[in-house]
Amino acid sequence: MQITLAHIGIRTQRGGAKAGYEALTAMYVERTQAYAAMRVEMHRTEAELGNWLTKQRGRAPVVLAVLDSRGKQLTSEGFAEWLGRQRDGGAQQVVVAVGPADGWSDDFLEKAQMVLSFGAMTMAHELARLAAAEQVYRACTILAGHPYHGGH
């Protein structure tokens, strides 16, 4: 199964705090490779991401999970169970998407199979991407029975 961490935004310049988030996100993406193929996709607008999603081909449709403060809050174990169900159900590609600064449009939210929330607080998009990458890695280790996730 291919996992894609997609986000709306612009590329980060080298150096500075934002570059640190990018490096940490890349570290978790790389670690996830031991369990599942994972990549990062950056799009400038929600519409661009939507167009990219419609062009993805495979035996099964893309499974879209978007991060939004109005979404469902899951434990790490709950997210791992959800991801495992996608994998075991034959999903070829799961896209976990961090949205634009103004939030997702209602139309885009309706396209998602899962709307996830890290909580009601607003956080920087770079931090949300890092947290999403780490949670995907954590979910993969939970599914594999790896001791990374201590359960607390």
Residues 99-131: pLDDT tens digits? Answer: 998 899 999 999 999 999 999 888 888 999 999
Taking the model in full, what pTM does it have? 0.92
Per-residue pLDDT for 15 more than 80? no
Question: From CA 77, how far away is CA 60, in angstroms rounded?
Answer: 25
Q: What is the reported pLDDT for 11?
A: 61
- Average pLDDT for 23-32: 96
Q: Which residues contact 21 (CB under 8 A, 6 or more apart)?
A: 12, 124, 126, 127, 129, 130
**Percentage of residues in the chain with pLDDT exceeding 70?**
93
Q: Phi-psi region for residue 103, left (φ > 0), alpha (ψ -120 to 50) or beta?
A: left
Mean pLDDT, rounded, of the chain: 92
Pairing of strands 37-43, 63-72: unpaired
pLDDT digits (tens, 9 = 90+) for 51-85: 999 999 888 899 999 999 999 999 999 999 999 99
Widest CA span of the chain, in angstroms?
42
Residue with tokens 């994998």: 87
Domains of the chain, first to last: 2-61+68-92+100-144 (3.40.1280.10)
pLDDT at 91 (0 to 100)? 95
- Residue 14 has a pLDDT of 60
Contacts of 78 (CB under 8 A, 6+ apart): none
